[in-house]
Structures are given as C-alpha cells and as structure tokens.
A and B are shown apart, each in its own frame.
Chain A
C-alpha cells in the first residue's frame, strides 16, 4: 500500500487506462460471443446468464476504476495528458455501452429468440460475424494506438450503420409473426449501437476532443471527425 509510492517504473496512468480499456473491450467481446451463441442455437442457460452478468459487472467496475484514475491524474497533473484524459473519460462510457448492448443481445435469447433455421439465418449470421470482427479489430487497433487502422475501421463500420437501418425498417414493415419482427428489429438495433460505440472508441485515436463521440447520433446530426 504505502510501498506503492516506492515502486519504480511501471506504466503511467494513461497507459494503465488504455490497458484497462482494452481489457474492457475484450470482456465486452466475451459477452458478445456468449450472447450470440445463445441466439444462434445455444439458447438461454443459467450458466451463460451468470457469466454474462458477471462479465458485464466487471466492465462496469472497470469503467469506475478508469474514471477514478483519470480524476486522480487530472488532480495530480492537471496539464499533462489533458487530451487523453478527456478523451478516455468520454470513450470509457462507449466501451461500457458495447458491453451493455452485447448483454442485451443475450436478453433476446432470454425471451426465446433463436435464429437457427430462420430464412434469413445467413444474413443474421453475416452481421454477427461482421460486428464480432469489428470488435476484435477495434480492440487490436486501440491496443497499439494505430491511427490509420482506426480511421479505416470507422470508414468500414460507417457503411454498416445504414444497412442496420434498412434491416430495422424491413422488420417494422414485416407481415410475419410479431415475435420474429421484434427480435430482428432489436437485433439490428443492438448491432447498430455496438457498432456506433466501437466507432466512438476509435475516434479517441483519430478525432480532436471536440469531435469525439458522435457515431451514436443519426448521420445528419453527426459532426464528422
């Protein structure tokens, strides 16, 4: 405890925060994988539910740790790393939301959704894989602070956002069973939110502070980085 003062070297607060953000993203991916496993044939189970909840709670605890660390850093060194401090204070909320919306996907399984054997299974699975890949790539890009990679991911993911809206619209206009339409509308809605929040995380690497965090807005309301 007191010996922490004498512990030399180690990472700076900002580096530790970056490491925690990466761990949060990895945990969010774990939640996402489990949730997708549940709606793509696995179904709900007590074990999965327990693990999803536990991992989501870890993400929430990590978010609080990040905020505390950033306030501490700002108090001790107010002018050092000011841009990173403000950026991470903002995007830590996005990472936490990625975990939240992934958990919401699991809720679909809780309400009985199972896409196995559905007519649009291929399409649903394609988006599952696309978003899963986006989360993995974003985590890797953020871990090494690859600015070019972040911009490329933003450009790639931006295309998905319009596609999700099309799918939500289709679900609304569907004449099929309500349970299927609602499940799809929510599924694509959650994927859209996950994608937008991942994009917000990427803006911490490429956008100036005043333009962070707009990808969860409608395109016409957004301030491009």
Chain B
C-alpha cells in the first residue's frame, strides 16, 4: 500500500463554512451595489458632451439590441450587462426607451455561454446533438421573444409603460426621479468611501473615468464571486430540485429554473448545468426547456437588486421591464402547444445540420453572437 490518497481520504472539505460563505455573499452584494453606484457617478462625472456622443448610437432600437448582445457576449454575463444598464439609466443619460432593446439584447447574448459549453461535446455525435439542441433552443426562444416584443415595445411602449406603472405604484417618486430605497443610504456611503480613496486625482474627468472603471470592475468581480459562492452554498438544493424536475415538464421546470438562477445570480450557470445533463441523456431536451425559460426570469433579479441600490425610479423601471419582458415572453409562447416547441424544433434541426457539418456549430456561434451584432452596431450607429 503506497501513500497515494484513496477517494475516501481525498474527500474535499469546504474551505469556508456555510454561514461564513453566506456572510461573504452579503458583503459581495454590498460591494456589487457600490460598483453600480460608482458606475453611475463615473458616467455623470464624464459630462454630457462625452456621454451624449457615446450613447447616441443606441437611439436606434436594433443598434441597442446589438449592443446588449455584444456586451453580454464579451462579459459572458447578462447580469453584469443589465446591472450596468440599470446604472446608466439611473444617470438619466440613457432613457428607459433606449435601454429596453439593450436589455433584450443581453437576453440573447447570455445564451452564448451554454452554446460554448455544448461545443465541448462535439466528439460524441449523439451527445453533441442533444447538447447543442439544449443550448440553441434557448437562443431560438429568446430570438422569438425579441422578434415578437421588440417591435411591440418600440411602437407602443407597452412593456416599459407597464413597468413604469408598477414602479410608481410600488416604489413611488419622492422627487427628482428617486424613490425610497432602504439600502440606498448605505450604498451611497460605501461609494463615497471608495471615491475618497481616489481623492488625490485632481482632474474631475480623470476621476470619473477611474470611478467608471472601478465600478464596472466591481460589478464584474463581485457578480463572479457571488455566483461562485452561491453555487457552493446552494449546490445540494440545486441538485435536489433539478433531480425532482428531471422527469417533469412545464411549470415545475420553470419555477425550478427561476429559483436556481435567483440563487446563483446567473442564468448562464443554470443553463450550462443543464447541458451535460441533457448530453448524458438523463435529462430530456423537452424537460430542460422550461428550466431554461425559468432561468430567463430568475436572471432579472440581479438588475432589480442593482436598482434598489441606486434608488432611481428609471433604473428600477428598466429592471422591472426586464422581468416583464421575460415573463410575457414565456406567457406568449409556452402555454400554447402549437408554438411552444418551435424553439426546440428549430434547435433540433440546427443540431442535425451541425452534426453533419460540425464547423457549422462553430460558425453559428461566431456569426450569431459576434459578427452580426458587431456589423449591426457598425452599420446602424
């Protein structure tokens, strides 16, 4: 018997206890809100000339949509994009009207993660077919949702107006476009502490750029660590609830997907977890479908939290619009048997093609998530 460790001996002990990890997540959430606040302060500090030029292009809804897609693909997290958009809307430099397409674009962009995860199964044909179907059905669903709701929103403003009505009823405007947020004061204090660290920067614009960078950095880092820690904290719950949803379809899956995503603060994590389960055949594509849709709703919670931190009515309105958009999309597509599985069928057909020619899968990912949005932005700006 040598000294190599047996599985029993090598069982990993969690480096942090549950309560410590939970406290860490609370601290990270606070830092995340400070990040959003710093971003808001940084944008404001840059002055209207600069920011007007920067955001001029997004007045075109399609350009806004592509910005949302590309930004999310680059940071690999719709939570980061939507939290940033909430911060931008909070500054008043991006209107709710212009932010809605960006939020919708973030929804599309976030599906790139599980599509990339599915490419890892390429060597096993059947596995890959299932994995790629599971990944791209999310793409098709989100595209269908945007195709149906973006024109409607542009023409009628129905989503953002509904969100405004809800925001006014729930939060109320206490003047200056602000609402009473229980955590706003604490977040403001924290942001001021961080800003004071850079008090030595004399130039106002240079300081604004620093706040902007630190803000975005904080949002990105804190969300990454929140996701990592929450994943460890709730792993057993995720496994239990997904196990329970394995043989189920419909509402149960939607609720499970929503809960898991709220818990880990990332729809990419939820949908990426599903890929190996579908690839291995223990979860059917059609049972994974509602879980994926639930993740769309769950991911909107991050923007709602961000909006609470900055206490701006418009910021909250765009966050609520995101929730309404994803909920309405499900209500529009899922309850009706004739259209419910269109995204799944399209994904199956694409997977069939990708199976015959695997370069198509890579091409699809690159063209849909990078080249089209990039070309769209360049042309439409």
Please list the residues of chain A having a beta carbon within 8 angstroms of any beta carbon in chain B.
1-2, 4-7, 10, 12-14, 67-69, 71-77, 80-84, 86-87, 145, 147, 151, 204-209, 211, 225
Sample (28) of A-B pairs whose CB atoms are under 8 Å apart: A1-B245, A1-B248, A1-B252, A2-B241, A4-B237, A4-B243, A5-B260, A7-B237, A68-B246, A68-B282, A72-B277, A74-B276, A75-B273, A75-B274, A75-B276, A80-B12, A80-B232, A81-B12, A83-B6, A83-B11, A84-B11, A151-B1, A204-B7, A204-B8, A205-B8, A208-B4, A209-B7, A225-B6
Q: Which of B1-50 contact A (CB under 8 A)?
A: 1, 4-12
- Whole-angstrom CA separation of A52 from B7 in the bound complex: 32
Please name all residues of chain A whose beta carbon is closer than 8 Å to the beta carbon of B240 when the two chains form the complex.
4-5, 7, 10
Which 9 A/B pairs are nearest by Cβ-Cβ distance? A83-B7, A87-B7, A5-B241, A208-B4, A4-B240, A75-B276, A83-B10, A4-B244, A77-B235
Taking CB as reference atom, which chain B residue is nearest A207?
Answer: B6
**Does any Cβ of A come within 8 Å of B259's Cβ?**
yes
**Does any Cβ of A come within 8 Å of B76's Cβ?**
no
Across the interface, do B276 and A2 meet the contact criterion of CB distance under 8 Å?
no
Across the interface, do B243 and A225 meet the contact criterion of CB distance under 8 Å?
no
Please name all residues of chain B whose beta carbon is closer than 8 Å to the beta carbon of A67 when the two chains form the complex.
282
Please name all residues of chain B whose beta carbon is closer than 8 Å to the beta carbon of A145 when the two chains form the complex.
8
- Whole-angstrom CA separation of A208 from B244 in the bound complex: 32
**Does any Cβ of A come within 8 Å of B280's Cβ?**
yes
Across the interface, do A147 and B6 meet the contact criterion of CB distance under 8 Å?
yes
Across the interface, do A77 and B232 meet the contact criterion of CB distance under 8 Å?
yes
- Whole-angstrom CA separation of A10 from B240 in the bound complex: 10
**Does any Cβ of A come within 8 Å of B236's Cβ?**
yes
**Does any Cβ of A come within 8 Å of B255's Cβ?**
yes
- Interface-centre pick from A14, A73, A75, A205 (highest chain B CB count, 10 A): A75
Please name all residues of chain A whose beta carbon is closer than 8 Å to the beta carbon of B255 when the two chains form the complex.
2
Q: Which of B214-249 contact A (CB under 8 A)?
A: 231-232, 235-246, 248
Taking CB as reference atom, which chain A residue is nearest B260?
Answer: A5
B172 CB to nearest A CB, Å = 31
Please name all residues of chain A whose beta carbon is closer than 8 Å to the beta carbon of B1 when the two chains form the complex.
151, 206, 225
- Whole-angstrom CA separation of A69 from B244 in the bound complex: 11
**Does any Cβ of A come within 8 Å of B256's Cβ?**
yes
- Choose from A76, A204, A206, A211 the contact partner of B239 (Cβ within 8 Å): A76
- Whole-angstrom CA separation of A84 from B273 in the bound complex: 20
Please name all residues of chain A whose beta carbon is closer than 8 Å to the beta carbon of B274 when the two chains form the complex.
75
Q: Which of B241-280 contact A (CB under 8 A)?
A: 241-246, 248, 252, 255-256, 259-260, 263, 273-277, 280
- Whole-angstrom CA separation of A187 from B232 in the bound complex: 49
Across the interface, do A76 and B7 meet the contact criterion of CB distance under 8 Å?
no
Add 4 more A-B contacts to A2-B252, A81-B12, A84-B8 (CB < 8 A): A68-B282, A69-B239, A83-B6, A151-B1
Q: Which of B276-303 contact A (CB under 8 A)?
A: 276-277, 280, 282
Please name all residues of chain A whose beta carbon is closer than 8 Å to the beta carbon of B260 when the two chains form the complex.
5
Across the interface, do B241 and A208 meet the contact criterion of CB distance under 8 Å?
no
Please name all residues of chain A whose beta carbon is closer than 8 Å to the beta carbon of B273 when the two chains form the complex.
75-76
Across the interface, do B282 and A80 meet the contact criterion of CB distance under 8 Å?
no
B288 CB to nearest A CB, Å = 11
- Choose from B11, B12, B243 the contact partner of A69 (Cβ within 8 Å): B243
Across the interface, do A71 and B238 meet the contact criterion of CB distance under 8 Å?
no
- Choose from A71, A72, A208 the contact partner of B5 (Cβ within 8 Å): A208
